[in-house]
Chains A and B, each alone.
Chain A
Amino acid sequence: DTAVSQTPKYLVTQMGNDKSIKCEQNLGHDTMYWYKQDSKKFLKIMFSYNNKELIINETVPNRFSPKSPDKAHLNLHINSLELGDSAVYFCASSPGLAGLTDTQYFGPGTRLTVL
């Protein structure tokens, strides 16, 4: 069983387009995240949701809009794509603050290429 899944795995699109990436977790976790990993492998948090509520919104252009329809899903919509948006986007989840042994479980990643 896949714990954290993302679709699509690869996304190639033109500048200016709008695209979405979907994420689902079947771990029963309360908290979900979006990370961006650039070409140098640097990993940076973008957003975090706890029980469908936004709790972290790093300095990310407002072209990026996360949406959490329920606790198990966190989607990322990107408007007016730019070349600099090309990266691998990882979704992750964790139990939240309830347990002291929280780690984050990562999805397989979505490689976005903007042409």
Chain B
Amino acid sequence: ELKVEQNPLFLSMQEGKNYTIYCNYSTTSDRLYWYRQDPGKSLESLFVLLSNGAVKQEGRLMASLDTKARLSTLHITAAVHDLSATYFCAVDPYSGAGSYQLTFGKGTKLSVIP
């Protein structure tokens, strides 16, 4: 059974600081997704990482994938309050064409404080 572990689960950081959220998974996969969820809201797709070494950046967020280490990171640069949300990583257990099934991590609740 695929296991997806995120850490930390809770993160309180000051504005302007940098930090990294980690997503480890237990089986071979080269398809990993990051989502953001604001309180009481739906999930919004942030990044789709489809190969070893993939790196994607959007604003203050940068995601990377190391399939050999079975690790993805979400790096936050110079955090601002608007980034406060819960961030989920999700893994597709099948490489190549992919599957219909994502396994989600438990989420990292990020609070950015002034």
Contacts and interface: CB of A to CB of B under 8 A. Distances in A.
Interface string A73-115: 0000000000000000010101011001111111111000000
Contact of B42 (A97, A101, A103, A106): A106
Contact of A103 (B45, B86, B88, B97): B45
Contact of B98 (A33, A55, A102): A102
Interface of B: 33, 35, 37, 41-45, 48, 50, 86, 88, 97-104, 106-107, 109
A41 B43 CA distance: 11
Nearest to A111: B40
A10 B103 CA distance: 26
Given A103-B33, A106-B43, A43 B101 contact: no
Nearest to A31: B100
B100 A101 contact: no
6 nearest CB pairs, A to B: A106-B43, A103-B45, A43-B104, A48-B100, A106-B42, A108-B42
Nearest to B46: A103
Given A41-B107, A106-B42, A100 B101 contact: no
Contact of A45 (B35, B86, B102): B102
Interface residues of A, number: 27
B104 A44 contact: yes
A48 B101 contact: yes
Contacts of A25: none
Contacts of B98: 97, 100, 102
A56 B103 CA distance: 13
Nearest to B88: A43
Contacts of A103: 33, 45, 48
Nearest to A99: B98
Given A41-B107, A43-B88, A97 B97 contact: yes
A56 B45 contact: no
Nearest to B86: A41
A109 B39 CA distance: 12
Contacts of B106: 40-42
Nearest to B101: A56
Contacts of B50: 100-101
